[in-house]
Amino acid sequence: MQQLTSFATDYTRYVLKGGTKFYAWMGSLTVLIVGMMYVFYLQNTEGLIVTGMTSQIHDGLYFANLVFLVGVAAGAVTIVFPAYVYHHEGMHKVTVLGEMLAITAVIMVMMFVFAHMGRPDRLWHMIPPWGIYSFSSMLGWDVMVLNGYLFLNIACGFYYLWVKYTGGKVNNKFFMSLVYISIVWALSIHTVTAFLISTMPSRPMWFHSMMPIRFITTAFAAGPALIILIFLIIRKNTKFWIEDSAINLLSTIVTWCLGLAIFLTMSEIVVELYARTEHANGLYYLMFGLHGLTSLVPWFWSSVILMVTSFVLFLIPSVRTNYKLLPILCVMAFTGIWIEKGMGLIVPGFIPSPIGEVTEYYPTFVEILMTIGIWAFGFFILTILLKGAIGILQGEVKYQGGAVAKSGDVAGSGNAAAYETR
C-alpha cells in the first residue's frame, strides 16, 4: 500500500512540474475545457435543440468524432503488435506510450457518447445486465467492448510502469496474456463500431459488408499518423529518444493502410455509381450534391485530395523518411481520414431519409465548441499520461520511499525504457 501511495504521489508530482511551454499548453487546453463544460450545461438545460441535429439527421459531429476516435484507439495496436509478435526492438521501447494513447482515445469516445445522449441520466441503460439497451442495442455492445479495451490498456500500461517504478520484474504469464488479448480486442472494437451503422438496412450508404474492413484500414492509417506526430514532438521536447526504426515502421504502416482505404473508397464509388439507383443517392449527394444541396461536396473532395496526395508522397522513401516533411504528410492523412470517417460517412448516410426527404446538416457553435473541448480534454489527459510514463521509463521517477529521484542520479539510464519481457 505504501508503494501504491508513493507511485500515485510521485507520478502526480512529476507531471505537475514543467516549463513555460508546458504550462501555456495545459492552460490553453483548460480554457477550451471550460468552454466545453459551458455548452454541455446548455445542452442539458435547453436540450439537443441547441445542436444542428434534427429528426432527419440525428447523428452529427459528435457521432462522427466517436467513430473516428474508436479507430485512433484501435490504431495503437500498430505499436503493440510489431513489438510483441515480431519483437521489433524500437517498438518495445515505446509500446507503453501507444497504450497511453489508446486509453485517452477511449475516454474521449465515452465523452462523445455522453455528449450525444441528450439525457446523461439514462446512461445506465447501456450497463449490462440492467440496462434495456445493453444487449439489444449495437451501441450497448460497442460501449461494452470499448470499456473492455480501456481496462486492458490500463492494466497493461500501468502494470508495466508499476514494475519499472518499483524496480521489479515483469510477470510474463500475466502480462503477455493481457497483451495478446488486447491485440485481438483492438480489432473487435472497430468491427463492432462498424456494425453499429452497417446493420441498418434503411441506410443503404452504410448497409454493406465492406464497412468493417474500411473502418480497420482507416484506423491503421489515422492512428499511426497521430502516433508519429506525438513521437516527433516527444523527441523534440524531451530527453526521451524514440528510435528512427519505430517511426519508419509506423510510416510504412500508414502508407499501405492508407492505400487500401483509398482503394476501398474508389471501389464503392464504382459499384454504387456504375448503375446508379436510388440507393446511391447518399453517395451521389456527397460527391456532387442533390437537388441543389451541396454543403458536403467540398468536404468530400478535400478528403480525397488530402488522402491521395499524402499517399503518393508516402510512397516516396526519401519523403517518407524526411522528418521535416513527415509531420505534414501525417497531418494531411489524419485530416483526410477524419473527414472521410466523419462528415463524409456519417452525415450523408442520412441523406436522403428512408422516406425520401433531403435535408442538410450544419454543426452549431455548441457542437463545434463541445467537440473542440472534448479534444482538448483528451490532449490534456494524454499529456499527463505521456509525461508521467516518460519520467518512469527514463528512471526519473522511481520508488525511493516516496521521493522522486533526481535526474542526475539516473544519467544514462535510457535502457530503462526498454520492454524487458525476458
Q: What digits encode the pLDDT tens for the residues 241-278?
A: 888 999 999 999 999 999 999 999 999 889 888 888 88
pTM, two decimals, is 0.88
Q: Which three cell numbers stand for residue 193?
A: 463500431
Go through the domains of the chain in sequence order and give each one's CATH number.
Answer: 2-410 (1.20.1630.10)
3-state secondary structure 30-42: HHHHHHHHHHHHH
State pLDDT tens for residues 181-195. Answer: 998 998 888 888 888
Instruction: Compute the half-sphere exposure of residue 380: CA atoms within 13 Å on the CB side of its CA.
Output: 19
Give the single-character DSSP code of 293: B
pLDDT the model gives residue 344: 85
pLDDT the model gives residue 134: 63
Average pLDDT, the chain: 86
- Strand (E) or helix (H) holding 313: helix 297-314
| For residue 297, pLDDT beyond 70 | yes
State pLDDT tens for residues 346-368. Answer: 888 888 888 888 888 889 999 99
**Residue 201: exposure state from Cβ atoms within 10 A (0-12, 13-18, ≥19):** exposed
From 154, 318, 310, 333, select the one nearest 229 (Cα to Cα): 333
Give the single-character DSSP code of 404: P
Write phi, then psi, for 37 (nearest 5 degrees): -65, -35
Instruction: Compute the half-sphere exposure of residue 172: CA atoms within 13 Å on the CB side of its CA.
Output: 5
**Residue 22: exposure state from Cβ atoms within 10 A (0-12, 13-18, ≥19):** middle
**Residue 229: exposure state from Cβ atoms within 10 A (0-12, 13-18, ≥19):** middle
89/107: higher pLDDT:
107
How far, in Å, CA of 328 to CA of 404, rounded? Answer: 38
pLDDT (average), residues 320-325:
92
Q: Where are the alpha helices (DSSP H) in 238-296?
A: 244-274, 281-288
- According to DSSP, the residues that pair with 293 across neighbouring strands are 290
- According to DSSP, the residues that pair with 49 across neighbouring strands are none
pLDDT the model gives residue 44: 87
pLDDT (average), residues 64-87:
88
| For residue 21, pLDDT beyond 70 | yes
State pLDDT tens for residues 146-168. Answer: 889 999 999 999 999 999 888 88
At position 387, the amino acid (one-letter code) is K
pLDDT the model gives residue 388: 92
Cβ-based neighbours of 99, under 8 Å, separated by 6 or more: 76, 80, 153, 156, 157
| For residue 412, pLDDT beyond 60 | no
Q: Which three cell numbers stand for residue 27?
A: 492552460
| For residue 329, pLDDT beyond 60 | yes
| For residue 310, pLDDT beyond 90 | yes
pLDDT the model gives residue 221: 93
